[in-house]
Amino acid sequence: MNRQTKRLLARQQAAQEKSGRPSTPSPRPMPTPGAEKKKRTPPRQFLKEVRTELKKVAWPTRGEVITYSVVVLVSVTFVTLFVFGLDSGFTHLVLKVFTK
């Protein structure tokens, strides 16, 4: 803990003592490396829970997927052509300026 944090904590504790409120509990100590860890979920239970969650998902219809795919492809094509045009324009401009 740095000095600034210690000072802030000391001010907060002093203010709490003045107001008559009980001081906040000190932070919990860090667990030691050999401490007990939470048990892992077995793979079968995990897959069962994943399956139940996937049933709750609102999946798009086939038509929506096709529409979204076309929109993405058109957008990517447009942006690619735009960047290609800028690149070509700047290339010609730079070559014209520096090859005199």
Say what the pLDDT of residue 6 is: 85
The structure tokens listed for 3 are 């000095």
Helix, strand, or coil (residue 34): coil
- Give the chain's residues under pLDDT 70: 1, 21-27, 29-36, 100
Encode pLDDT of 31-48 as tens digits: 666 666 778 889 999 999
Say what the pLDDT of residue 19 is: 77
Dist CA 19 CA 3 (whole Å): 24
Say what the pLDDT of residue 76 is: 98
What's the pTM? 0.48
Say what the pLDDT of residue 26 is: 63
Using only the alpha carbons of the chain, give its radius of gyration. 31
Dist CA 54 CA 43 (whole Å): 16
- Residue in the structure block whose two tokens are 């600034």: 4
